[in-house]
Amino acid sequence: MGDYRLEVEQGPVMEEVIDNLIDELGTNEQLTKWVVEFANENLANERAWDVRSSLISFSEEILKRSIRRLKMRYLK
């Protein structure tokens, strides 16, 4: 069998995921609470109150770490 490699442009995908998450605010109580806490933490640390870019960066970092773990697990 041959090796297959799937590559996805992360930026546009993450932006769409975060836009969908933001669309859920107000209808999903737990998600809304988490995003408000995230925004408050940003304000407390003198970061932008607009959490969209912070959420994108945060999600990209989570994805990078997840990919790193998968590579370590399966490409030993």
Q: What is the pLDDT of residues 8-53, one digit of tens each?
A: 677 888 899 999 999 999 999 999 999 999 889 988 988 877 788 8
In a domain, 45, yes or no: yes
The residue range of the domain holding 51 is 12-20+28-74
| Spatial contact of 14 and 55, defined as CB atoms under 8 Å apart | no
pLDDT at 1 over 60: no
**Would you call 27 helix, strand, or coil by DSSP?**
coil
Establish if 7 belongs to a structural domain.
Answer: no
SS3 label, residue 63: helix
Q: What is the pLDDT of residue 60?
A: 85
Record the pTM.
0.66
Q: What band does 2 get if pLDDT is binned at 50, 70 and 90? A: low
Number of domains making up the chain: 1
pLDDT value, residue 6: 62
